[in-house]
Amino acid sequence: MIVSVIGGGGLVGSCAAYALQCGGVVSGIDLIDANADKGRGEALDILHGTSIAADQRIRAGSYELIPESDIVVITAGLRRKPEESRLDLIGRNVELFQTILSSVKLAGLKRDAIVLVVSNPVDVLTYLATRQLGLPSNQVISLGTQLDSARFRSLIADALKLPPTQVTATILGEHGDSMVPIWSAAQAAGLPLDKFPGWTANTADALFAKTRGSGAEVIKLKGGAGFAVGLAIREVIHSIALDQKRILPVGSLVNGVYGMRDVCISVPSVIGRKGVESQIEIELSPKELSGLRNSAKVLRETIDMVLAKNPAANTSTSAAKPSTAVAPSHAVKVTMGSGGSTGSARVTISGQRGGGRNG
């Protein structure tokens, strides 16, 4: 499987490429960047490690590489400033993103290609990509709250002095200020988190606030996130490449899940070779459900604003309807967690029907 990284010369793109090299699953990694020298330099640096890491083909180039790509990762975009929200980036990033989408379409995507959007504001840009690329909506995925959930688990583990892979917790909704922590499903070492010794409501509030502010903190300290987001991207790509059917908190177009419609937002999603193979409704508390719907409302209002201000973005070349690979949503009980160093998922499902299965 060949992965192209648009923005591969940047921090996020190069870290994603390196994470994929260390993972050793995909057969080829192509770096595409507007700064051709930077893209070639990052590709050459990665190429030098192939004899140590994995038997992979590493290339740098331009959009002529897209027709060979099984997965296209879009990381290119202007960086967020520490004081900016991800939604504040819209005015500065939509025009650039439109240019990228046009170049990808002109180059020509494989019919079964998966597009993974990482550029911010990721939920809004994924909606634009879903409308304009001409692919079934299940083949256009946002990294969504995958990174937020990884940060969440890691910070909880650090606070409780637990191995990070023993923490199961997730964040849904917007990759931004309206994100929603799903405390009702959180566990530590197999125990309900709210029953864990020393756990308090104040601890929960502090850890979620720290998680929500993590992106801005990293930007302030080092200029932008790289390593963790690269690993988050790899986890999604490996689930596609290996057809693992892992349940991950990524974003894609929803139409009916939790009563939300016509918005790209993160919900528990079964990820396999066809992209988002189903979206799953786990049981949420009333507060969590209200927060998730509010997050969708915030994103829908932003999408409407973008479409009103950008006539080119308002042109749809796709019906944006899921293919038959996307099964109807249904209520299930799900426990989600990181697979640790082995890459295996810790997922427990009861009451599930249809397309998703244990990964």
Tokens of 71: 């997965």
Phi and psi torsions of 32, nearest 5°: -120, 130
Tokens of 355: 């397309």
Annotated active-site residue 48? The verdict is no
Q: How far apart are CA 71 and CA 77, in angstroms?
A: 18
Please report which helix (H) or strand (E) contains residue 246, including its range: strand 246-255
Identify the active-site residue in 48, 175, 238, 330. 175
Under 8 Å between Cβ of 353 and 276: no
Q: How far apart are CA 195 and CA 160, in angstroms?
A: 13
Could you tell me if residue 232 is left (phi over 0), alpha (psi between -120 and 50 degrees) or otherwise beta?
A: alpha
- Tokens 């990762």, residue located: 73
Q: How many CB atoms lie within 10 A of CB 149?
A: 27
| Residues with Cβ within 8 Å of residue 299, at least 6 apart in sequence | 123, 124, 127, 174, 178, 263, 264, 265
Q: How far apart are CA 95 and CA 216, in angstroms?
A: 23
Best CA proximity match to 188, nearest among 232, 153, 145: 153
- DSSP assignments along 127-173, one per residue: HHHHHHS-S-GGGEEE-TTHHHHHHHHHHHHHHHT--GGGEE--EEB
Active-site amino acid positions: 175
